[in-house]
Structure formats: C-alpha cells, structure tokens
C-alpha cells in the first residue's frame, strides 16, 4: 500500500517517522519541504504528487480550513486511487468532519476522522490516543497504518472522532486552568509548588495534566507541544457545537475566555500550559 502523508509539523513529523519505520511506502508533503525530508519518507513537491494513485492518505494539517484547501480545493483527494482511505487526523470541527465525510463518499473514497491526543511526546513514542469516526470496516482496514502511531478506539460513525477530540480538548483546557490556579495558590500561600504537585500525584487529583503540564508550569517551560492558539481553536469549535445542541457549558466558556486572553496578551505561540502566565497576570504576579 502506498500512503500519502500530508503535514509533517510538530505532530505529523514523528507520526510519519513511526509509519516509515514499519517499512510502509510513504510519500510525504509539507509546506516546508525540509520537514518532510526529515521523516525518511519520499518527499512530494505538491499534495497531489503525494496522493496520486495512493491507496491511503493521512492528513494532519493545522485546522479544518487548511484540510479543505489541500484536500478538496487543490485536488489532493481527487488524485487518490478509487476506494482509498482518507484519514484526517487533524483537529477539525464536528460540522467540518461531517461535511468532509459526505464529500469523500461522493468521490468514491472511504473517510475516517481520527484526531489524536497526547502531544509531541506521545507522537514520538507512538503512544497517541486515536479517536476514530467512520465505518467499522474502514477503521479496521486503517489499523495497520494507525497502530504504529498509538492506540485507536473506534467511537462510531463519521464525525464522532472529531466530536470526541473536542470533548478531549475541553477536558484538557479546563484541567490546565485548574492546575495553573493550584500552582498560583500554592505559591501565594507559601507552599513549594513542586512539593504540592508531588503530593497531589498520589491522590484523586492526579492526572496527566498535573504530571506533565504541572511540571512545565513549575519549570516555566512553555516551548510549544500544543500551542495555545490551537487550544482556542478547539474550545471555539466546542462552544459552537454546544450552542447548536442548546447546551450551557460554563466551564468551557470560562476556559475559552482565559485562553483567548492569553493569546491577546501575546501567548498564542506558547504551549497551552502557559495559561499560568495569564492567570498570574490577572493576579498582578510577576516571575
């Protein structure tokens, strides 16, 4: 099977490398060709060169509009072999996933929305959580391609993978906010935030966010694994779904406001753990 891989950025590059390491025939495209070159895949000059005649295409671009442009506006999806698997692993909105799935089906292709969670460490280790929406037979057919990247759970029909990613993102966003508040409260009250984190890791407050991002906050290490601007994209998409369903989700609304303010104050390209900085700003605290 020839696999096209579109998007070899922070997440896509290690995912592509893990697929190449299995011996799969992979043609990679990225707007910056050097990033595609570093994956070990054959480098394609254009998205269409990558997808032409391929039996599968994996896409991990920045957002839904980027996926639309590359796949449908410029013709990369149309260049795939008939019946090919189109696996979009980017974080796209639920309506976009449903729309793209319908377009894909009309083109005679098989659609899977399969966004991921775990950040760059999990992408490098091949331990991502992969949330797949699509026909069960198609997800099963895609597993040999997805298994080198992480653990795949088939959620349900097309669109449910994208919906699950939004659910993941609002959980992450609200937990980051809570952990950041905990670190600020610890410091203001005279407790060592590192010791507080260590103590909490042994109880019900333990979480991957506390483990990884709590340490990032303590070390002030905000080199982006998941940039804050992408977090806002996802919370905005989740707010739109909630509004369409007539739901009032106040914690989501607050998390979106906090991350939006972080971006407004210049933190969009920092890791989303940098929400600590916005909360410190609100409290008149300086590092």
Percent of the residues in the chain that have a pLDDT greater than 90, as a whole number = 92
Beta-bridged to residue 195, according to DSSP, are none
Sequence-ordered list of residues with C-beta below 8 angstroms from that of 35, at least 6 positions apart, any chain = 8, 9, 13
Residue 75: per-residue pLDDT: 93
In the set 35, 165, 233, 239, the catalytic residue is: 165
**Cβ atoms within 10 Å, residue 282:** 12
Residue 193 has, within 13 A of its CA and on its CB side, a CA count of: 21
State the pairing for strand pair 116-117/128-133.
antiparallel
Q: Which residues of 97-132 are buried (b: 16+ CB within 10 A; e: fewer)?
A: bbbbbebbeebebbbbbbbbbbbbebbbebebbbbb
- The Cα–Cα gap between 71 and 114 comes to 16
pTM for the model stands at 0.87
Residue 79: per-residue pLDDT: 98
Q: Which of 62, 59, 48 is nearest to 86 (CA)?
A: 59
Residue 233: per-residue pLDDT: 86
Active site residue 165: yes
Residue 87: per-residue pLDDT: 98
Measured at the CA of 156, the angle between CA 172 and CA 175, to 5 degrees, comes to 10
Residue 112: per-residue pLDDT: 98
Sequence-ordered list of residues with C-beta below 8 angstroms from that of 227, at least 6 positions apart, any chain = 268, 269, 270, 271, 272
Q: Which residues of the chain have pLDDT under 70?
A: none
- Convert the pLDDT of each residue in 200-211 to its tens digit: 999 999 999 999
Residue 286: per-residue pLDDT: 83
Residue 210: per-residue pLDDT: 97
């Amino acid at each position: 099977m020839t696999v096209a891989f579109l998007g070899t950025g922070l997440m896509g590059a290690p995912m592509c490398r893990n697929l190449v390491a299995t011996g799969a025939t992979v043609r990679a495209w990225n707007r910056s060709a050097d990033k595609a070159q570093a994956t070990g895949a054959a480098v394609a000059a254009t998205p269409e060169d990558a997808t032409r005649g391929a039996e599968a295409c994996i896409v991990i671009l920045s957002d839904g509009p980027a996926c639309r442009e590359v796949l449908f506006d410029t013709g990369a999806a149309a260049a795939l072999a008939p019946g090919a698997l189109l696996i979009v692993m980017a974080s796209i909105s639920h309506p976009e996933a449903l729309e793209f799935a319908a377009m894909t089906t009309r083109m005679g292709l098989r659609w899977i929305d399969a966004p991921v969670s775990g950040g760059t460490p999990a992408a490098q280790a091949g331990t991502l959580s992969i949330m797949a929406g699509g026909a069960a037979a198609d997800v099963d057919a895609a597993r040999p391609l997805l298994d080198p990247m992480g653990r795949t759970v088939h959620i349900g029909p097309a669109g449910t993978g994208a919906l699950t990613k939004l659910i993941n993102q609002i959980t992450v966003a609200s937990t980051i906010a809570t952990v950041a508040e905990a670190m600020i409260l610890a410091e203001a009250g005279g407790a060592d935030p590192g010791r507080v984190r260590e103590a909490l890791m042994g109880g019900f407050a333990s979480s991957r966010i506390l483990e990884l991002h709590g340490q990032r906050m303590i070390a002030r290490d905000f080199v982006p694994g998941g940039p804050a601007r992408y977090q806002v994209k996802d919370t905005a998409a989740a707010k739109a779904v909630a509004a369409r369903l007539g739901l009032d989700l106040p914690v989501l609304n607050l998390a979106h406001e906090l991350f939006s303010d972080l971006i407004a104050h210049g933190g969009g390209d920092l890791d989303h753990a940098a929400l600590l900085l916005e909360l410190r700003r609100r409290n008149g605290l300086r590092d």
